[in-house]
């Protein structure tokens, strides 16, 4: 190989390196921007919750607190599922911590949080285009991580909420959800908080399992097909599928009439793989 050929080859290698480095840098900058946007939203919610808790605490000191709100400001009890009670707007019936966000974007359906996992996000709902936020941030701008969104076939009357989120390699969105494959992780994170705009909800994890999107000629538990559990036979079929698919026994049971939460994200154990966590609403 001549010196000229070597120089040309070195230039090509350098260009490839610079191009790759540039792509990586752009990706990192975009990921940082997306993460900051959601961190800012979470900070707004937490600030309002704390403000409500402080207000309730002041009322309690004056001896006029509502009995149901006693201890609402004690965030240390969150590990036991005893969350601060959010104030409700008497005119709209909406939980106050989410009002400002709803004013920013009427596609907001609620909020999901799992303590100490990084999952702390708004949940969107767009009936005319369910996957509208698949590649969009809360603000509507393009975002590789998208925003968790609700399966629009799910309703409160159906006692089932299915939420989809990306399995991001930087552990944002539902990137940490597959950690539930290990029983020890579930033991450390047994509760999921999922609030609608009008009601707080604490859910206990029932099961975690690997799955996939099945083709028409394949047999398997199509968890994503169960969008309405109001029929008892359908519920029993769903319960049987969860029981057969679960990776370990949590000891948490579901009964007909319970409200069920299902979180779904991509998994790379097989083609069109999915990882799923199922939880049941705790009735206080």
Where are the chain's structural domains? 32-281
Average pLDDT, rounded, for the chain: 86
Query: How far is C-alpha 242 from the chain's CA centre?
Result: 19
Is the model's pTM score more than 0.85?
Answer: no
Selection from 242, 220, 200, 226 nearest residue 96 by Cα: 200
Q: Write out pLDDT tens, residues 226-265.
A: 999 999 999 999 999 999 999 999 999 999 999 999 999 9
- 197 pLDDT above the threshold of 80: yes
Question: Would you state the pLDDT for residue 115?
Answer: 96
Please, where are the H alpha helices in the chain?
3-61, 96-104, 183-188, 232-245
- 65 pLDDT above the threshold of 70: no
Q: Write out pLDDT tens, residues 3-59.
A: 666 666 666 666 665 555 555 544 555 666 788 899 999 999 988 888 777 776 655
Q: Write out pLDDT tens, residues 98-137.
A: 999 999 999 999 999 999 999 999 999 999 999 999 999 9
End-to-end CA separation in angstroms for the chain:
78
Phi, psi of 241 (to 5 degrees): -65, -40
- CATH topology for the 32-281 domain: Sortase; Chain: A; (2.40.260)
State percent of the chain over pLDDT 70: 79
d(CA 197, CA 14): 53
- Coil, strand, or helix at residue 5? helix
| Overall size of the chain counted in residues | 284
Q: 3-61 and 96-104 helices cross at what angle (nearest 10)? A: 140
State whether the Cα torsion 230-236-242-245 is positive or negative. negative
Phi-psi region of 160 (alpha: psi -120 to 50; beta: other; left: phi over 0): beta
239 is written with which tokens? Answer: 């319960």
């Amino acid at each position: 190989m001549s010196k000229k050929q070597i120089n040309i080859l070195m230039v090509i290698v350098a260009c490839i390196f610079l191009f790759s480095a540039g792509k990586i840098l752009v990706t990192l900058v975009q990921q940082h921007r997306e993460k900051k946007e959601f961190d800012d939203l979470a900070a707004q919610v937490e600030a309002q919750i704390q403000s409500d808790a402080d207000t309730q605490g002041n009322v309690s000191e004056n001896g006029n607190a509502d009995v149901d709100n006693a201890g609402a400001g004690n965030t240390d009890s969150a590990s036991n599922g005893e969350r601060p009670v959010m104030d409700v707007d008497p005119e709209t019936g909406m939980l106050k911590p989410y009002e400002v966000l709803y004013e920013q974007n009427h596609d907001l359906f609620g909020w999901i949080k799992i303590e100490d996992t990084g999952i702390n996000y708004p949940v969107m709902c767009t009936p005319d285009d369910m996957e509208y936020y698949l590649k969009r941030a809360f603000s509507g701008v393009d975002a590789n991580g998208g925003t968790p969104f609700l399966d629009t076939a799910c309703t409160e009357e159906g006692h089932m909420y299915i939420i989809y989120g990306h399995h991001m390699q930087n552990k944002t969105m539902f990137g940490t959800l597959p950690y539930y494959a290990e029983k020890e992780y579930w033991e450390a994170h047994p509760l999921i908080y999922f609030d609608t705009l009008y009601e707080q909800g604490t859910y206990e994890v029932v099961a975690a399992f690997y799955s996939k999107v099945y083709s028409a000629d394949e047999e398997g538990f199509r968890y994503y097909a169960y969008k309405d559990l109001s029929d008892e036979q359908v519920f029993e079929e769903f319960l049987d599928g969860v029981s057969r698919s679960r990776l370990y026994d949590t000891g948490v049971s579901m009964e007909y009439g319970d409200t069920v939460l299902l979180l779904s994200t991509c998994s790379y154990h097989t083609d069109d793989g999915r990882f799923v966590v199922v939880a049941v609403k705790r009735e206080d």
